[in-house]
Structure 1
Amino acid sequence: MRPRRFDLIAFDWDGTLFDSTRIITRCIQRAVVDVGGAQPTEKAAAYVIGMGLMQALAHAAPDVPKEMYPQLGARYQHHYLAHKDDLVLFDGAISMLNELKQRHHLLAVATGKSRRGLNEALHSVQLHGLFDGSRTADETQGKPHPLMLQELMREFDVPAGRMLMVGDTTHDLQMAVNAGCAAVGVSYGAHEPSEFEALAPLHVAHSVADLRNWLLENA
């Protein structure tokens, strides 16, 4: 077996492993309108995916006053919970993760979701035990701050040069840059792949199959 290049691979969740980008975008739009804000465009709503919830909603709704942020967050949660059973993993994601585990990579999740939200998602798709660790935006710093990756590196005693971040947004890739880690982007999530160029990912995958092939050959 070819030696591993990366001991620890961290994955973003929404838009990278979980096929949730369109639903999250619509929920953000509806929440903003619910509290009297101007509906953000699909591009503006999708752009904030990966940030911590309140950071994302504030960015997507600049005309909503800060005192309305708790209500804005509550309305987003209302719409999202109504659709949570509609969310599924991208085809091929579980088999890809299992193959990486067989190669003895440590696997982690680094997400803008809340701890409660991630735990519910992991339970819903029966992924408990597949990931060795995880960090969420409400228990550390949100993206693109590098802290969640730095904490994972410390937890598993892995240096930055042996860690890889995989994500669908510039927030994911900038977080990797800030942490001194390599990164791979995926183009099937929230951000356009042209936005990744300045962040120099090792690869941009256009499907889960593409991502799987690159990881097995290069990670």
Structure 2
Amino acid sequence: MKPYSLLIFDWDGTLMDSAAHITQCMRNAIAVVGAERRSDTEIRHIIGLGLDEAIQHLYPEQPLSQIRDIADEYRQEFLVRTKHGSELFSGARETLHTLAAQGYTLAVATGKSRRGLDKVLDETGLRELFPITRCADETRSKPHPQMLEEILTDCDTAKHDALMIGDSIYDLQMAQAIGMASLAVSYGVHDLNQLRQHHPLGHVDDVTHIPGWLATQTTKQG
């Protein structure tokens, strides 16, 4: 017996090693608009939120017009100007295929835009593995649980049969808000001490460890 039927993955920092790319694109967008600089640490902390929400966290006192200007420039940086983006974490592709072969349904809940997620799904050739995906520009941004609620509805799955897997506090807060179990990954944008504050069932230090962790949950439940 599998411990869950549905595994919901965050994308950036969980499956794709994209923090450096996102940070650089945001730095460039900020420079083009002429806004006050933000440190790489500050930018990394907001990875996982929807784009508008992320920029509002960086510039809480700025008018909406400047937030939109930075967001527009970021989209240009990420989708148009940058020809070479990010790579999947080593072993991520094989891990996803293993989980699919084991009978898990796989889904994505991401702070990326629909256009951004479609781009990386096509570039990586992983689209067929994820029948259901949700993005921040088509529902509410993390940590609000709406995207999880919609995924559960689309998959006709109860929350106790699903597991949220992510590298940010926003992923775990989203799961907490709906009462869904979560698994933290320690190799992404937020450190393990931050993640543990939101009570994941456990953590893995490498994406390839996820099937093994799931096997331990099967043993415990058995």
Q: Identify the residue that residue 117 of structure 2 maps to in structure 1.
A: 118
Contact 1:108 1:132 in 2 (8 A): yes
Q: Identify the residue that residue 23 of structure 1 maps to in structure 2.
A: 21
Match of 1:56 among 23, 31, 54: 54
Q: Identify the residue that residue 99 of structure 2 maps to in structure 1.
A: 100
Deviations 1:96-121 (A, max 9, x none): 11111111111000001111111111
Cα deviation for residue 63 of structure 1 reads 4.9
Match of 1:11 among 9, 12, 17: 9
Contact 2:183 2:201 in 1 (8 A): yes
Greater CA deviation, 202-211 or 44-53? 202-211
- The whole-number CA distance in structure 1 between the counterparts of 2:206 and 2:147 is 26
After TM superposition, the structure 1 = structure 2 runs for residues 1-219 of structure 1, keeping only pairs within 5 Å, are 3-81=1-79, 82-83=81-82, 85-218=84-217
Greater CA deviation, 136-145 or 197-206? 197-206
Q: CA RMSD in A?
A: 1.5
Normalised to the residue count of structure 2, the TM-score between the two structures is 0.92
Normalised to the residue count of structure 1, the TM-score between the two structures is 0.93
Moved over 4 A (4+): none
- The whole-number CA distance in structure 1 between the counterparts of 2:77 and 2:118 is 19
Contact 2:3 2:214 in 1 (8 A): no
How high is the sequence identity, in percent, across the aligned residues?
38
- The whole-number CA distance in structure 2 between the counterparts of 1:184 and 1:108 is 14
- The whole-number CA distance in structure 2 between the counterparts of 1:184 and 1:138 is 24
Deviations 1:114-134 (A, max 9, x none): 111111110011112111211
Contact 1:32 1:61 in 2 (8 A): no
Contact 2:95 2:211 in 1 (8 A): yes
- The whole-number CA distance in structure 2 between the counterparts of 1:38 and 1:150 is 37
Contact 1:37 1:63 in 2 (8 A): no
Greater CA deviation, 74-83 or 9-18? 74-83
Amino acid at match of 2:47: I
Question: What runs of 5+ residues in structure 1 fail to find an aligned partner?
Answer: none
Aligned to 1:40, what secondary structure does the other structure show?
Answer: coil
Amino acid at match of 2:31: V
- The whole-number CA distance in structure 2 between the counterparts of 1:21 and 1:84 is 16
Q: Residues 68 and 60 (structure 1 numbering): CA distance in 2 closer, same or farther, change over 3 Å?
A: same
